[in-house]
């Protein structure tokens, strides 16, 4: 019997029990509220550990927003803080070098003191809050930064060239760099923009005899603005990478599925329906619900029966590829699948991995709007005694829009080769690949 046959006996895995009881609250809990179809949202049915991965749209974004430091960003944040520290150190040295012992720049020193105090306080707070920066803390920090900028620019106000250079105000940029992983990049960019505009405005308002004095001001402004902007762009790319990779590994778990399977969401829903039915029947048995039933309870029973019936026949024609595409946030909207015979289910795990990675690389690497992939599997080629007698052959036709052949990652070809021998062409400027797939005949296995 083929390992991917849906009728193969499947041993009861000990985990299956734990999932069920964890999901349903254990054997002691019995009186769950009866099924109410109208109140149930997708979020109620979310799987346990990775709610953001399965629910497209409503779950995922908020999870990432509320947990900016969830994956790797904390480590990255330390690097950004050290980097910002180096820049701040330079600015401090510059203040010390330019300081005139007879005429202390009191306001600038005060600004520096406030900035350092803010940096230390924010750091300790964030550490205490498990690497999170709540909005109030961010706003408070921004307020302190505004004071720093005001004090420093007031302290260095004067005729250009004659007055000392601002140092604490550009150091605010370094501070923004150090918190870039703690907030949305858009917020950091906005704050940086405000800082830059303030400095540009002050530079423009200063009386200037000589245009040459613009040089140090340009240097100061770029020192203030460039680091947080570059940092924000890096962090944004980092977050996007993490999100894509997460999506990929979660979807890759489908390659070990049997030929036909129910998706993760469906199995949770089936468990939920069983529980609702159990509660309803138990209520009837114990006399908590009077017979004959009220119309509303009868309707509930009818809808439960209907949905239970649907779920029991579900999953007989849906393959791993179908689940992978529906569960993926990135692939779902742009990949079209036509596989009426469920042939994707016949592919071996390496072939599946190759096919998934191929689609992934084609969509992910182009990173452009408008790129889409359409997959068509089958029909099964007639065998004329040629080739391996036990093999089943069928074509996979992969057509794309907006994917130029020369932009395709070399790794893609390697992934396609894992699926089978292929011929590629470039009609209309977009890639098309015809793969000749050969799989073990499930009837012979």
Q: Among residue numbers 269 through 308, which ones bind another protein (CB under 8 A)?
A: 270-271, 274-275, 277-278, 280-282, 284-287, 291-295, 297-299, 301-302, 304-305, 308
Q: How many CB atoms lie within 10 A of CB 141?
A: 24
Which range binds another protein by CB under 8 A, 56-64, 144-152, 248-256, 330-338?
248-256
> Which contacts (CB < 8 Å, 24+ apart) does range 282-291 have?
282/30, 283/34
> Which range, of 147-155, 189-197, 265-273, 338-346, touches another protein by CB under 8 A?
265-273
Nearer to another protein by Cβ, of 76 and 346: the residue is 76
Site for another protein in 101-140 (CB under 8 A): none
Closest distance to another protein from the beta carbon of 143 (Å): 26
* DSSP H or E stretch at residue 279: helix 264-285
Range 328-347, binding another protein (CB under 8 A): none
d(CA 31, CA 12): 27
Residue 435 neighbours by CB distance under 10 Å: 23
CB of 182 to another protein, least distance (A): 15
In whole angstroms, what separates CA 55 from the centre of its chain? Answer: 12
Three-state SS sequence of 224-270: HHHHHHHHHHHHHHHHHHHHHHHHHHHHHHHHHCCCCCCCHHHHHHH
Distance of alpha carbon 42 from the chain centroid: 19
Among residues 52, 59, 60, 84, the one that binds another protein under rule CB under 8 A: 84
How large is the C-alpha radius of gyration of the chain?
Answer: 31
**Cα 294 to Cα 307: distance, rounded to the nearest angstrom:** 20
Considering only residues 371 to 410 of the shown chain, the ones binding another protein according to CB under 8 A are: none
Cβ closest to another protein, residue 137 vs residue 195: 195
Determine the size of the site formed for another protein (CB under 8 A): 108
Beta bridge partners of 375: 337, 398
- Least distance (Å) from another protein to the CB of residue 135? 25
For another protein, the binding residue among 19, 114, 147, 381 (CB under 8 A) is 19
The count of residues in the chain is 445
Binding mask 23-62 for another protein (x = CB under 8 A): -x--x-------------------xxxx--x---------
Comparison of 59 and 231: residue with beta carbon closer to another protein: 231
Query: According to the binding rule CB under 8 A, does residue 355 interact with another protein?
Result: no
- Please say whether the beta carbons of 146 and 202 come within 8 A: no
Interface of this chain with another protein, residues 158 to 217, rule: CB under 8 A: 161, 211-216
In the complex, least distance from residue 36 CB atom to another protein, rounded to whole angstroms: 16
* Segment lying near another protein (by CB under 8 A), choices 122-130, 195-203, 219-227, 389-397: 219-227
List CB contacts of 191: < 8 A, sequence separation 6 or more. Answer: 142, 145, 176, 228
């Amino acid at each position: 019997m083929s390992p991917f046959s849906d009728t193969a006996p499947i041993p009861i895995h000990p985990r299956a029990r734990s999932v069920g009881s964890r999901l349903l609250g254990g054997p002691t809990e019995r009186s769950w509220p009866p099924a109410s179809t109208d109140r149930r949202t997708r979020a109620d049915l979310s799987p346990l550990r990775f709610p953001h991965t399965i629910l497209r749209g409503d779950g995922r974004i908020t999870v990432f927003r509320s947990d900016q430091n969830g994956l790797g960003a904390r480590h990255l944040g330390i690097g950004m803080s050290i980097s910002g520290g180096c820049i701040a150190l330079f600015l401090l040295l510059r203040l010390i070098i330019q300081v005139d012992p007879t005429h202390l720049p009191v306001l600038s020193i005060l600004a520096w003191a406030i900035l350092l105090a803010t940096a230390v306080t924010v750091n300790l707070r964030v550490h205490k809050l498990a690497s999170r920066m709540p909005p109030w803390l961010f706003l408070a920090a921004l307020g302190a930064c505004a004071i720093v900028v005001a004090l420093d620019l007031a302290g260095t106000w004067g005729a250009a060239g004659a007055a000392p250079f601002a140092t604490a105000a550009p150091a605010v940029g370094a501070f923004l760099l150090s918190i870039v992983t703690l907030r949305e990049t858009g917020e950091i960019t906005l704050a940086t923009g405000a800082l830059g505009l303030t400095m540009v405005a002050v530079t423009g308002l200063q009386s200037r005899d000589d245009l040459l004095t613009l040089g140090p001001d340009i240097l100061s402004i770029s020192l203030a603005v460039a680091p947080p902007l570059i940092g924000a762009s890096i962090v944004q790319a980092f977050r996007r990478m993490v999100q894509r990779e997460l999506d990929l590994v979660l979807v890759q778990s489908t390659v070990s599925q049997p030929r036909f399977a129910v998706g993760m969401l469906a199995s949770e829903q089936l468990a939920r329906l069983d529980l609702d039915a159990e509660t309803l029947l138990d209520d009837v048995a114990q006399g908590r619900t009077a017979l004959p039933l009220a119309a509303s309870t009868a309707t509930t029973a009818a809808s439960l029966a209907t949905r239970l019936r649907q779920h029991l026949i579900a999953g007989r024609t849906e393959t791993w590829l179908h689940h992978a595409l529906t569960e993926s946030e990135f692939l779902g909207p742009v990949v079209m699948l036509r596989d009426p015979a469920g042939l994707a289910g016949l592919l071996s795990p390496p072939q599946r991995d190759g096919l998934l990675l191929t689609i992934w690389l084609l969509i992910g690497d182009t990173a452009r709007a408008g790129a889409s992939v359409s997959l068509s599997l089958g029909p099964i080629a007639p065998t004329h005694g040629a080739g391996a007698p036990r093999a089943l052959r069928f074509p996979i036709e992969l057509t794309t829009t907006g994917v130029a052949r020369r932009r395709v990652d070399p790794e893609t070809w390697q992934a396609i080769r894992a699926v089978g021998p292929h011929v590629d062409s470039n009609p209309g400027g977009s890639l098309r690949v015809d793969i000749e797939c050969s799989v073990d005949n499930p009837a012979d296995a």
